[in-house]
């Protein structure tokens, strides 16, 4: 029995993964083809598998998948709420709750017909399955399924309905409907991509979030004779003086370095305050700072030593000990100003300026051994999963519920993974995993989960698709996908957001990356992908919790 199950799962995942790579106009269904192949195999062989063992594999798969997502989004989860991210995440949440509202409205509408209600097909759990497919929310489907199992174990329900049927019917429609929503926003708002490109370029040039690297000739007589530390006090904001040309030599200035009229200085600061710095120092100028072995060089060093993980830049004392200067940090593709209190993490790319010999010493201190990043940190992964399972098992007492709610195998590991991804360095945990390693864990878990639910639900899928219920599932999924996306897209346009940001917002709110191919085909900008990454962490978190809460709070309605 076990050998047969392993054979079937391997067959399903292999064939599904191959079919998932097929693209139609740049769009593919990816790992979801594993579900479709699982449904096909389950139609013929689903009754011959051990359901208890299949439940274990399904649960283990969803834990791996969701925990990997949490580790990936953890470092940027809290920073996504800052500045412009607040508006984008607010709009994304609006789209999430609009989708929930449409789902509940459809539930009451469909069950207002006595004959439909008697069929039992349109219970709240089944509608949650349709909603999960309509927003391509596989983690939410896992959370909902796990919540139903909790209810079954408590005796509240007799059996778990195959909600993956609604998911499988709605999912393919969701990808097309998401792109159609983008096209409708473009048509209604009369968007011209070339004008959006120009507007976006202007906004990015005026961005206040990225570090500005500026060269000044000191022409303010009030600065003449002041030390660098005194100049920074007058400025009032974070500034890193990385190089100074006093007319005789180029060197790294220190806090007690005296500035003189006519000196040329290179400073890294927040773009927002650059005009203030220009008023303080004088003439901003174009100047080529030459790197050579005799003076100063700049190098990008990757943090790969575990001992550095969790330390602040100030704690390293690189300037005083090695006469080198950290100017900025690149983390997950984002440049950060190298403030003394910035905490370094494994995988950070550090821009260091100094004499070549000292740069090499800094490399030894920070690591710069890319091979170390390839080492798997299994302690962090399985320790986090263990605490995630514990967190998911804690009962949460909610009034009017016959049983306490739990975060379960979906919510618990997700929350713990986000917290470890963001704060794990405080416990000396190395949370960095290479993108390929994280993707491997995530896809493995997702494939095991989808293959398992496909095998279990396959016996009823064909009958559902060709029935009236299947058509209603499809129409419901279309409404859940299209209406919230269109409403939020138009609201975002009213708030003066550019079209590519709106496309990323719609895709991110649906956990749906394939539709990004549409805005990417209209422009070379990556704004849609950036916005997708900004809203995805919160949306992924909320959809998992909402799917589970809808089951636990509303199951009695169905």
pLDDT tens readout for residues 158-198: 666 678 778 878 877 887 888 899 999 989 988 887 787 77
Q: Which residues of 41-55 are buried (b: 16+ CB within 10 A; e: fewer)?
A: bbbebbeebeeeebe
Report which of 115, 79, 88 is spatially closest to residue 331, judged by C-alpha positions: 79
CA angle 544, 546, 549 (to 5 degrees): 110
At residue 117 the predicted structure's pLDDT band, cuts being 50, 70 and 90, is very low
3-state SS class at 489? helix
Residue pair 481/174 in contact by the 8 Å Cβ criterion: yes
pLDDT tens readout for residues 232-274: 888 888 788 888 888 888 888 888 889 998 899 988 887 777 8
At residue 95 the predicted structure's pLDDT band, cuts being 50, 70 and 90, is very high
At residue 401 the predicted structure's pLDDT band, cuts being 50, 70 and 90, is low
Provide mean pLDDT across the span 390-417: 74
Highest average pLDDT, of 190-194, 434-438, 516-520, 531-535, comes from: 190-194
Distances (CA, A) of 47 to 1, 41, 142, 457: 12, 10, 22, 10
Tell the residue number behind the tokens 């916005």, with chain if given: 531
> Which tokens go with 184?
């409708």
What is the predicted pLDDT for the residue at 243? Answer: 84
Bigger pLDDT: 13 vs 144:
13
3-state SS class at 429? coil
What is the predicted pLDDT for the residue at 81? Answer: 63
State the pairing for strand pair 264-270/334-337: unpaired
Q: Where are the alpha helices (DSSP H) in 249-395?
A: 274-281, 313-316, 318-322, 356-366, 370-373, 378-393
In the sheet with 349-354, reading across from the earlier edge strand, the strands are 297-302, 349-354, 325-331, 334-337
**315 torsion bin: left (phi>0), alpha (psi -120 to 50), beta (else):** alpha
Distances (CA, A) of 278 to 13, 269, 282: 60, 11, 5
What is the predicted pLDDT for the residue at 327? Answer: 78
What is the predicted pLDDT for the residue at 482? Answer: 93
CA angle 390, 395, 398 (to 5 degrees): 150
Residue pair 167/128 in contact by the 8 Å Cβ criterion: no
Q: Quote the longest CA-to-CA distance of the chain.
A: 91
| Cα 507 to Cα 92: distance, rounded to the nearest angstrom | 10
> Which tokens go with 352?
């260091």
At residue 293 the predicted structure's pLDDT band, cuts being 50, 70 and 90, is very low
pLDDT tens readout for residues 2-34: 788 888 888 888 988 888 777 766 556 667 778
User: Across the chain, what does the average pLDDT equal?
Assistant: 78
Distances (CA, A) of 471 to 110, 112, 493: 13, 18, 33
- Phi first, then psi, for residue 270 (nearest 5°) are -70, 135
Q: Is the pLDDT of residue 98 over 90?
A: yes
| Cα 409 to Cα 146: distance, rounded to the nearest angstrom | 7
Q: Is the pLDDT of residue 368 over 80?
A: no
Distance from chain centroid for Cα 81: 13
Tell the residue number behind the tokens 């479709």, with chain if given: 36
What is the predicted pLDDT for the residue at 484? Answer: 94
Q: Is the pLDDT of residue 554 over 70?
A: no
CA angle 6, 10, 12 (to 5 degrees): 115
pLDDT tens readout for residues 56-91: 888 888 788 878 877 776 666 666 566 567 888 899
What is the predicted pLDDT for the residue at 156? Answer: 61
pLDDT tens readout for residues 195-229: 877 776 665 555 555 677 889 989 888 888 899 88
What is the predicted pLDDT for the residue at 116? Answer: 46
Bigger pLDDT: 263 vs 141:
263
> Which tokens go with 464?
């559902």
Q: Is the pLDDT of residue 339 over 80?
A: no
HSE-CB at 231 with a 13 A cutoff on CA atoms is 30
| Cα 420 to Cα 239: distance, rounded to the nearest angstrom | 31
H or E element that contains 269: strand 264-270
Q: Is the pLDDT of residue 344 over 50?
A: yes
What is the predicted pLDDT for the residue at 500? Answer: 86
Distances (CA, A) of 523 to 497, 519, 526, 527, 529: 16, 7, 8, 9, 12
Q: Is the pLDDT of residue 365 over 90?
A: no
Residue pair 369/308 in contact by the 8 Å Cβ criterion: no
pLDDT tens readout for residues 454-484: 787 777 767 766 677 778 888 999 999 999 9
| Cα 4 to Cα 553: distance, rounded to the nearest angstrom | 38
> Which tokens go with 479?
């409404």
| Cα 109 to Cα 153: distance, rounded to the nearest angstrom | 30
- Phi first, then psi, for residue 160 (nearest 5°) are -90, 120
Beta bridge partners of 264: 217, 245
């Amino acid at each position: 029995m076990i050998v047969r199950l392993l054979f079937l799962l391997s067959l399903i995942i292999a064939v599904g993964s191959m079919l998932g790579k097929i693209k139609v106009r740049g769009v593919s269904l990816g790992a979801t083809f594993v579900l479709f192949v699982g449904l096909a195999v389950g139609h013929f062989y689903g009754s011959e598998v051990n359901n208890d063992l299949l439940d274990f594999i399904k649960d283990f798969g969803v834990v791996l998948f969701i925990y990997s997502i949490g580790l990936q989004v953890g470092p940027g989860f809290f920073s996504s709420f800052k500045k412009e991210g607040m508006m984008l995440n607010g709009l994304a949440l609006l789209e999430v709750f609009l989708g929930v509202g449409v789902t509940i409205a459809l539930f009451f509408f469909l069950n207002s017909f006595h004959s439909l209600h008697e069929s039992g097909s349109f219970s709240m759990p089944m509608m949650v399955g349709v909603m999960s497919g309509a927003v391509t929310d596989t983690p939410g489907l896992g959370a909902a399924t796990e919540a139903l199992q909790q209810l079954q174990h408590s005796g509240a329900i007799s059996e778990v309905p195959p909600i993956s049927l609604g998911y499988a019917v709605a999912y393919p429609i969701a990808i097309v409907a998401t792109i159609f929503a983008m096209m409708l926003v473009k048509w209604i708002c009369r968007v011209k991509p070339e004008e959006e490109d120009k507007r976006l370029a202007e906004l990015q040039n005026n961005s206040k979030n990225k570090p500005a690297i500026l060269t000044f000739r000191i022409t303010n007589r009030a600065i003449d004779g002041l030390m660098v530390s005194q100049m920074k006090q007058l400025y009032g904001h974070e500034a890193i003086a990385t190089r100074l040309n006093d007319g005789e030599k180029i060197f790294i200035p220190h806090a007690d370095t005296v500035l003189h009229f006519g000196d040329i200085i290179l400073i890294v600061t927040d773009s927002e305050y650059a005009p203030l710095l220009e008023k303080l120092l004088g003439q901003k100028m174009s100047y080529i700072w030459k790197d050579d072995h005799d003076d100063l060089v700049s190098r990008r060093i990757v943090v790969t030593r575990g001992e550095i993980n969790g330390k602040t830049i100030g704690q390293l004392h690189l300037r005083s000990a090695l006469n080198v200067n950290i100017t900025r940090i690149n983390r997950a593709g984002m440049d950060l100003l190298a403030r003394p209190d910035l905490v370094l993490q494994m995988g950070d790319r550090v821009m260091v300026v100094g004499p070549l010999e000292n740069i090499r010493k800094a490399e030894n201190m920070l690591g710069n051994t890319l091979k170390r990043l390839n080492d798997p940190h299994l302690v962090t992964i399985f320790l986090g999963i263990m605490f995630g399972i514990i967190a998911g098992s804690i009962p949460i007492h909610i009034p009017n519920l016959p049983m306490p709610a739990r975060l379960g195998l979906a919510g618990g590991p997700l929350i713990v993974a986000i917290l470890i991804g963001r704060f794990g360095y405080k416990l000396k945990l190395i949370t960095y995993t290479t993108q390929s390693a994280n993707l491997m864990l995530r896809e493995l878990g997702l494939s095991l989960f989808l293959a398992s639910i496909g095998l279990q639900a396959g016996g009823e899928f064909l009958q559902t698709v060709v029935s009236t219920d299947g058509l209603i599932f499809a129409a419901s999924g279309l409404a859940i996908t299209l209406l919230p996306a269109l409403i939020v897209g138009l609201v975002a346009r009213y708030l003066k957001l550019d079209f590519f940001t709106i496309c990323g917002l719609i895709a991110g709110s649906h956990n749906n990356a394939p539709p990004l191919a549409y805005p990417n085909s209209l422009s070379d900008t990556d704004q849609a992908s950036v916005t997708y990454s900004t809203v995805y962490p919160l949306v992924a978190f909320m959809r998992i919790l909402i799917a589970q809460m809808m089951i636990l709070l509303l199951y009695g309605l169905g």
